[in-house]
A and B are shown apart, each in its own frame.
Chain A
């Protein structure tokens, strides 16, 4: 039994990657939950909105790199973020004007919006592939590791190493900052409060003189920022491929629904629940258990509960369990 090694191995293979992945999902789910809470529909185009924002960031990053601009040890993509957010904001505001506004003035039922968003999803998907191509793009530069496994081993004298990638640390730090700003905005500013009021009771918001079109515009702006940041962080941590972003829709929706649709706190909690479940279940725990358990109990097999190919099944199963037993999610969002 070597509990310390077990802990380090667990941290290296599960805790750190799942935390970073959870933060990315949480930011994505926040966007979904904002649209659900305020515009009252599930936006299926969110994954591709993320892809578009990230694409804009990547192109700007290439531009910066060509100009020789860099961010020292940090990825240049962080410098390109504002440009990506603006591009993404223009895209979603344009989409809203062209598509959603039409249905809004018609007071269409939410399911009409959902189907419309499905169409928007295909268009955005095609747009991104058309501009940047369907292939993998690596755009991470700067320092790769904060601490490598080997450095950690020599430092601590343990058998197991703990590696922390720069992108993982950046993901968590940026996510914390973004969430803090978002919550400050929603809870302390007049505009943020009016958004919450509109989400809570549309009629009364109108009676209080809150302009719905303004609320909708601010929502899209925040969604564009959240989607671009989430997408860029995911792309830095892994890689950018349009199809992967489309697939991210499932864990993101699972996170938003598990947390409770419409509840920002729930979206964050849901993101981490899904991420930890996915990583823990698809990671072979043999090593960790080998260290943690007495020799007689050491497992022979890999103790990998599910192949990584099936990782989306994990979000699916959690989604179904939550829908069956707690349809409003962990944080009392709206019933689905």
Chain B
């Protein structure tokens, strides 16, 4: 639409109005939700991409976690929750966006190199060495470390997960589902990561074990390690989350603290079940 205020209706008298285009710059407004990412410790910034040459699964998706925080990615099935986490870990072809760890751009690094940089990743499935003992699993977690404090870290992990200390000589594959997850998290912690990423740590365990795992995760977080995790059990996960990301079809649908999201009508109606 033409701006009525700028229509001079044929008045070409230069003594009345000065010729030329008036100022075109006008201040914009920012009424939308603001994502606070500039000081995030780990951030996948506006990531767009998919697996291999396949179609894009993520669209401008941003996920971040700050020191001492638990960030949770939730969303309906097929929303790209795990994909979002894999993108942060470098297992996706990003066509747009960046991943930064502690201010450093790590977008082009391979997953292995990201481990060296201080990212601990616990995959959803086959996340332990089943034929090896609990202790050997932990030792393998510390494979990249060259310092001599490995035993110390292992003792800390046994403190965090007492059951692993009791079963340290047992093959990890013989343990129960919940105990295996503890081995998996323990293995990732052995690298002394700067950030821990968990892909559905409670998938396939009983509700009681799930509660215990959540307690353990909170304890790990209390040691100061930022945790980014994907969860199926949205309600419980948001209860412990400092920051929640609701993804829908690979896009950020809602972002906020866990409490905010739990209170949000939209979020509740769309997938928390009322």
Residues of chain A having any CB pair with chain B under 8 Å: 190, 193-194, 196-197, 200-201, 203-210
Contacts and interface: CB of A to CB of B under 8 A. Distances in A.
B56 interface: no
A203 B115 CA distance: 13
A200 B183 CA distance: 15
B123 A194 contact: no
Contacts of B115: 207-209
Chain A to chain B: the 9 pairs with minimum beta-carbon distance, closest first = A209-B144, A200-B129, A197-B140, A208-B143, A208-B140, A200-B131, A209-B143, A197-B129, A201-B129
Listed residue (A190, A197, A203, A204) with the most chain B CB atoms within 10 angstroms of its CB: A204
Interface in B126-144: 126-132, 136, 139-141, 143-144
A203 B144 contact: no
B140 A193 contact: yes
A214 B26 CA distance: 62
A206 B140 contact: no
Contacts of A203: 123, 126
Interface of B: 111-112, 115-116, 121, 123, 126-132, 136, 139-141, 143-144, 187, 191
A196 B126 CA distance: 15
B143 A196 contact: no
A197 B116 CA distance: 18
A60 B130 CA distance: 44
B112 A206 contact: yes
Contact of B129 (A190, A204, A206, A209): A204
Given A208-B115, A208-B144, 11 more contacts: A194-B140, A197-B132, A200-B129, A200-B131, A203-B123, A203-B126, A204-B127, A205-B129, A206-B112, A209-B115, A210-B140
Contact of A201 (B121, B130, B136): B130
A196 B111 CA distance: 21
A204 B111 contact: no
A17 to B, nearest CB: 35
Contacts of B129: 196-197, 200-201, 204-205
Contacts of A193: 132, 136, 139-140
Nearest to B145: A209
Listed residue (A194, A203, A207) with the most chain B CB atoms within 10 angstroms of its CB: A207
Contacts of A208: 115, 140-141, 143-144, 187, 191
A1 B86 CA distance: 75
B179 to A, nearest CB: 17
Nearest to A262: B131
A222 B132 CA distance: 21
B177 to A, nearest CB: 17
A203 B184 CA distance: 13
Contacts of B130: 200-201
A132 B119 CA distance: 55
7 contacts: A190-B139, A190-B143, A200-B132, A204-B129, A205-B140, A208-B140, A210-B143
Given A203-B123, A206-B111, A209-B112, A194 B143 contact: yes
Contacts of A197: 129, 132, 136, 140, 143
A190 B139 CA distance: 8
A203 B127 CA distance: 9
B265 to A, nearest CB: 40
Contacts of A210: 140, 143
A207 B123 contact: yes
A200 B130 CA distance: 7
A207 B191 CA distance: 10
A200 B191 CA distance: 19
Contacts of B144: 208-209
